[in-house]
Amino acid sequence: MLEGQDILCFAVEPWEGVWRNRHQIMSRLARRNRVLFVEPRPYLRQALGLRPQDAAKPRRRSPRLRHLGEGLYVYRPPRWAPIIGRQPLKALADALQDRALLEAMARIGMRQPILWLFRPEQAEAIGRYSERLLLYHVVDEYAAYEMEFVDQVGMARREAIVALERRILRQADLVIVTSPALLESKRPFNPHTYLVRNGVDTAAFSAARADPSPPADIAALPQPVIGFVGVINEKIDLGLLRDVAQARPQWSLALVGPVTQRFHREQLAWLELPNVHFLGFKPVAELPRYVAACQVCLMPYKVNEWTRHIDPLKMYEYLAAGRPVVSTPIPSALDFAPPLRLAHDVHGFVGQIEAALAETDDGQRESFRRLAAQHDWEARVEALSEHIVAALGRTSNP
């Protein structure tokens, strides 16, 4: 594993939020390196408490810089330096943010870090922190997301995202992507682009099997429980979920995770059905028990250009729990079918769920777990480390 490096990671969500691949990766790299996990800056309206969704949220009072153990530090940007779109306030807020973050880096002795970026909008961080290496980690086709909602965000937004990403790709010393489609999309802009797919914490799912009692809220649902564990956003085909729930009202459809849908939120009303249960956000430590409480797990993604590029974490997590999986035919699911069951519409989904419910072979479920173990985060971080070491060698010996 990579050792003795400083890593400045610009994250997209708070440390205590929904865990993504960056949480898994940074928590492991921090065992032998010093990692500063930078939580996202608030937008101006958020900082002023003007967004309706923030009104009920309590203000976080945690220290701006926290040491979570080993080499892991978490930095919370100040609310008095939010993201502002217009000059000259933008330049002032950005300068204040830079100063506060540089002070935090100095407090822990961080110099010349590996700058690890995850989004095109983070391009403005390049060159501000004396980084020795620029790593761009791509987990989504962001321009495709903008195209899905161009009527809401406008074509100019998509063009800006494309321009920012091209800038990062040209400047990056190393580009990591999580799906073959992303590799095809990004490698033409940077020859040092490599595929490292997402993974799973198999130890956490093995530990969950030692405690077979399900959490109280999902245990209270009538059997069988058909589960979706993850963020409910624009990737999810809410119409498909509605149709499945209506086709089999005797099933409990458990949706475990926060709702982050920005557009067409009125579609959430489709799921106001007696057998659909929104169980909300759960901390990462609890998720294995929720997955294990489902008889069948779902990946009901829309099939479009956006989802063609994703590599869902939940796919590996469902398998690690030994749960049968029914998915729409996105490319990542095709790569794992079988054992993943694929269906295009509600009739196919219902049929595949019924077939999975009828399957009682414990050996098959153990085969799911063995497959997931081949994609453990420990191995993924080793692969990332090899690429980083090679990139450091290239940049120190041009």
* pLDDT averaged over 10-residue windows placed end to end, the chain, 398 residues: 97 95 98 97 70 49 88 93 80 89 97 97 95 97 74 75 95 98 97 98 92 92 97 95 98 96 88 97 96 97 94 97 97 94 96 94 89 97 98 82
Question: In this structure, what CATH number is given to the domain that contains residue 307?
Answer: 3.40.50.2000
Residue 314 is assigned to a structural domain of this protein: yes
Same domain membership, residue 79 and residue 42: yes
- pLDDT of 90 reads 83
Q: Does residue 22 contact residue 137 with C-beta atoms inside 8 Å?
A: yes
Buried b / exposed e along 239-249 (16+ C-beta atoms within 10 A): ebbbbbbeebe
Strands 6-10 and 34-38: parallel
With respect to residue 1, please indicate whether it lies within any of the assigned structural domains: no
Which amino acid, residue 256? V
- Identify the pLDDT of residue 143: 86
CB 207: neighbour CB atoms within 10 A? 13
Q: Rounded to whole angstroms, how far apart are CA atoms 145 and 162?
A: 11
Tell whether 139 and 210 lie within a shared domain. Answer: no
* E strand segments, the chain: 6-10, 34-38, 65-69, 72-75, 114-117, 133-138, 174-177, 193-195, 225-229, 252-256, 276-278, 296-299, 325-327, 341-342
User: Which pair of structure tokens corresponds to residue 384?
Assistant: 């990332």
Q: What is the pLDDT of residue 49?
A: 62
In this structure, are residues 100 and 62 in contact, taking their beta carbons and an 8 Å threshold?
no
The whole-angstrom separation of Cα 87 and Cα 358 is: 62
Whether 135 and 250 share a structural domain: no
Q: Is residue 299 part of a domain?
A: yes
Same domain flag for 212 and 84: no
Q: Do 176 and 252 reside in the same domain of the chain?
A: no
Question: For the purposes of burial, counting CB atoms within 10 Å of the CB of 257, is it exposed (0-12), middle (13-18) or buried (19 or more)?
Answer: buried
Q: How far, in Å, CA of 118 to CA of 11, rounded?
A: 7
The amino acid present at 29, given as its one-letter code, is L
What is the count of structural domains for the chain?
2
At residue 381, the pLDDT reads 98
Does residue 96 sit in the same domain as residue 73? yes
Q: Are residues 40 and 75 in the same domain?
A: yes
Q: Residue 342: in which H helix or E strand, if any?
A: strand 341-342
In Å, what is the CA distance from 166 to each residue of 136, 139, 156, 190?
11, 15, 15, 9
The pLDDT score that the predictor gives to residue 56 is: 46
Would residue 232 count as lying in a domain?
yes
Tell me, yes or no, whether 133 and 276 share the same domain. Answer: no
Residues 386 and 346 in one domain: no
Output the pLDDT for position 256: 98
Which structural domain, as residue segments, surrounds residue 191?
Answer: 6-199+376-396
- Here the tokens at position 165 are 């990403």
The whole model's pTM is what? 0.93
The torsion of the CA quartet 102, 107, 110, 114, rounded to 10 degrees, works out to -50
Please check whether residues 195 and 214 belong to one and the same domain: no
Do 212 and 191 fall within a single domain?
A: no
Cα separation of 193 and 177, whole Å?
Answer: 7
311 and 363 in a single domain? The answer is yes
